Amino acid sequence: MNSKRFLRLFLTYLALTVFAAIAVYPILQVVTISLRPADRLLSTSLEIIPDDASFKNYVDLFADRPFLLWMGNSIFVSLVVTLTGVVLAAMTGYAFSRFTFIGKKIGLLSLLTTQMFPATMLLLPLYIMLIKLGLINTYLGVITIYTATALPFTIWTMKGYYDTIPYSLEEAARIDGCNQFQAFYKIILPLAAPALVITALFSFMTAWAEYLVAAQILQDSSLWTLPLGLKSFESNMSTEWGLYGASSIIVTIPVVILFLALSKYLVSGLTLGSVKG
Amino acid sequence: MNRTAHKFFIAFLVVPAFLILAAVVFYPFVYNVVISFSNMSLRHIKDWTITGPQQYIKVFTEPTQPDFYLVFAKTIIWTVVNIVFHVVIGVFLALLLNQKDIKGKPVFRTLLILPWAIPQYIVALTWRGMFNYEYGSINLILTKYLNMPAVEWLKSPTEAFLACILTNVWLGFPFMMVIALGALQSIPQELYEAADIDGASWRHKLTKITLPLLRPVMIPAITLGTVWTFNNLNIVWLVSNAGEPSDQTHILVSFVYKAAFNLYRYGYAAALSMVIFVILLAFSLFFMKKTKATEAAY
């Protein structure tokens, strides 16, 4: 190995290690907090695993707090949003990719425009609408809002991905006797798997990790989703850091696993969509 | 298949999504425009009337605490600083990871994606804890290892704003890294081989091949990232705990959120929302147009 290559590799690993450490450190912090016993929460030590580490916070979460209820609520809302989101984006994206129809261009542009709305732009009128319709403190309200929030981005992703699949595939299927709908869901949909995965992940994350909309609509604490529950540990005069840490870890683990398992698709799906979009 | 059936098929695909969007996005948008021209507030929630462009005039002229123009300036600093760091760090790491002779690539990629995978509100609340004066690990690291004085992160406006920016930089670089990595992998290898034959230096290959070919992918990502950052309510709202100290840590979206949901100034908030929307729309159109001219080269 010549010295130039050695230097390059050394600097590369050094930089990657430093950035990886920065990326991981705050997460380790939460792990540390979640393992600290209650009487040592305000500690000035920088150890990752505290001396007297215990899982008491995790146990308390399930035993003393309605954590299971929040989790059930969050899972329900997120799954419904994911399912509706994937079906709608897969269908609409397909139409935008394959057919010409009146209002197509305006439709696509208006989807893009919605990304520029500040949160309050829709939240305020929606809040007033939901009060009038009596949908405050219902999941119907939250689920519809989350689905619609994710749709513009996911429809564009799906459309971009379909654009890369040659039209001749459907023509061949049609010749073999498929009708238009069969050609779509039997031939094209399986090929668009990477984009479907991104759509599902994005829809799921929108619902799983949303705080501000939920805070306005779900005021009844029996309906709370995880973000509202977690914030409640923080909002009192004294923050219950141990419980906060433990619940953060439990909330984050499934998302991180999903993310990492799907990170391959993430790279191909996002860039293909944006190059050809 | 005949034409009616074909039209029916398209309608079947498109209509459900657009019905939901009409209810949750397009109708509220129109409603927001109406409210922005009215005097709606907590006191006038039922008996509101259209009062003309009064609220818009208020947005630009009314002395508010904090001052509208100051918040606007802060929002621009917030957006520019964040995006510059996101793109520079993201592209830098993608270039490092894309070298052929690096071992442990999947491990590094996994660790570096983590900040993106964690729900934003958890990121925000965790960093808020880390910025705590006495017990937060940032001050502990500063004082114990770097021999620097502890910083009052959350008590003074400049430091609180800096704390929000640090949090958001940490959170945002993986998105740009993933996009850049995807783009790098799609650059044909023959281009580099040809350049090697011509004896091009690595700097030459970077500036003449890699960066120009990254451009068309990064530009939509940067546009989207800019809009998302400009509108990122979560981080500022939760790290500064609703604008602390005393409402001096705001960007435009958190400022509107406060006007709407803490101060119940509905008409005013609706007008300010419109102003933010128009700013972002103008920026996106301008930016996309400006950069499109060079896209033909690809």
pLDDT of residue A38: 66
Helix (H, G, I), strand (E, B) or coil at B38: strand
Which residues in chain A are closer than 8 Å to B110, comparing Cβ atoms?
260, 263
DSSP letters along A94-117, please? HHHHH---TTHHHHHHHHHHHTTS
Instruction: Please check whether residue A142 touches B, CB under 8 A.
Output: no
Higher pLDDT among residues A273 and B71, named by residue: B71
Question: B133-165 in b/e burial notation, b at 16+ Cβ within 10 A?
Answer: eeebbbbbeeeeeeeeeebebbeebebbbbbbb
Q: Which residue, among A88, A70, A259, A114, has the nearest Cα to B20 in the 3D structure?
A: A88
pLDDT, tens only, A25-36: 999 988 988 888
Give the Cα separation of A209 and B121 in Å (integer). Answer: 7
Query: Is the pLDDT reported for residue A131 higher than 50?
Result: yes
Burial group, residue B34, by CB count within 10 angstroms (0-12, 13-18, 19+):
middle
pLDDT, tens only, A35-89: 887 665 566 677 777 777 788 889 988 988 999 999 999 999 999 999 999 999 9
Residue B193 neighbours by CB distance under 10 Å: 10
- Which amino acid does the sequence have at B254? S
Residue B114 neighbours by CB distance under 10 Å: 18
- Which amino acid does the sequence have at B213? L
pLDDT of residue B243: 84
pLDDT of residue A277: 36
Percentage of the residues of chain A whose pLDDT score is greater than 70: 92
Structure tokens at A114: 């919605």
pLDDT of residue B5: 86
Instruction: Please check whether residue A89 touches B, CB under 8 A.
Output: yes
Helix (H, G, I), strand (E, B) or coil at A81: helix
Out of B127, B135, B281, closest to residue A116 by CB = B281
- Structural contact between residues B274 and B32, judged by C-beta atoms closer than 8 angstroms: yes
Give the Cα separation of A126 and B32 in Å (integer). Answer: 9
Which residues in chain A are closer than 8 Å to B92, comparing Cβ atoms?
15
Mark yes or no for CB contact A270/B182 under 8 Å: yes
Structure tokens at B198: 């011509």
Instruction: Please check whether residue B154 touches A, CB under 8 A.
Output: no
Residue A160 to residues A14, A108, A249, B36, Cα–Cα distance (Å): 37, 12, 35, 36
Mark yes or no for CB contact A118/B231 under 8 Å: yes
Mark yes or no for CB contact A148/B20 under 8 Å: yes
pLDDT of residue A75: 95
- Which amino acid does the sequence have at B289? K
Structure tokens at B268: 């005013």
Question: A143-174 in b/e burial notation, b at 16+ Cβ within 10 A?
Answer: bbbbbbbbbbbbbbbbbbbbbebeeeebeebe
pLDDT of residue A5: 87
DSSP letter (8 states) at residue B50: B
Q: Can you list the alpha helix ranges (DSSP code H) found in B98-232?
A: 105-117, 120-130, 137-144, 157-185, 189-197, 202-205, 211-230
Tell me where in chain A the CATH 1.10.3720.10 domain(s) lie: 66-240+251-276
Instruction: Using 70 as the pLDDT threshold, list the residues of chain B that sit under it.
Output: 1, 292-298
Query: Is the pLDDT reported for residue A275 higher than 60?
Result: no
Q: Calculate mean pLDDT across residues A107-122.
A: 87
Residue that has been written with the tokens 């530009």 in this structure: B219
Instruction: Please check whether residue A256 touches B, CB under 8 A.
Output: yes
Distance from CA of A91 to the nearest CA of B (A): 5
Mean pLDDT score of chain A: 87
Instruction: Please check whether residue B111 touches A, CB under 8 A.
Output: yes
Q: Which CATH class is domain A66-240+251-276?
A: mainly alpha
Higher pLDDT among residues B34 and A164, named by residue: B34
pLDDT of residue A88: 97
Beta carbons within 8 Å of A138's beta carbon, 6+ residues apart = A217
Q: What is the ipTM of this complex?
A: 0.87
pLDDT of residue A204: 93
Instruction: Please check whether residue B298 touches A, CB under 8 A.
Output: no
Longest dimension (CA), chain B: 78
Which residues in chain A are closer than 8 Å to B260, comparing Cβ atoms?
120, 123-124
Q: Calculate mean pLDDT across residues A224-243.
A: 82
- The dihedral region occupied by A137, where left means phi > 0, alpha psi between -120 and 50, and beta the remainder, is left
Q: Which backbone phi and psi does B227 adopt, to 5 degrees? A: -65, -45
Query: Is the pLDDT reported for residue A133 higher than 80?
Result: yes
Mark yes or no for CB contact A12/B234 under 8 Å: no
Give the Cα separation of A56 and A37 in Å (integer). Answer: 7
Domains and CATH numbers, chain B: 63-295 (1.10.3720.10)
pLDDT, tens only, A178-203: 888 899 988 899 988 888 988 999 89
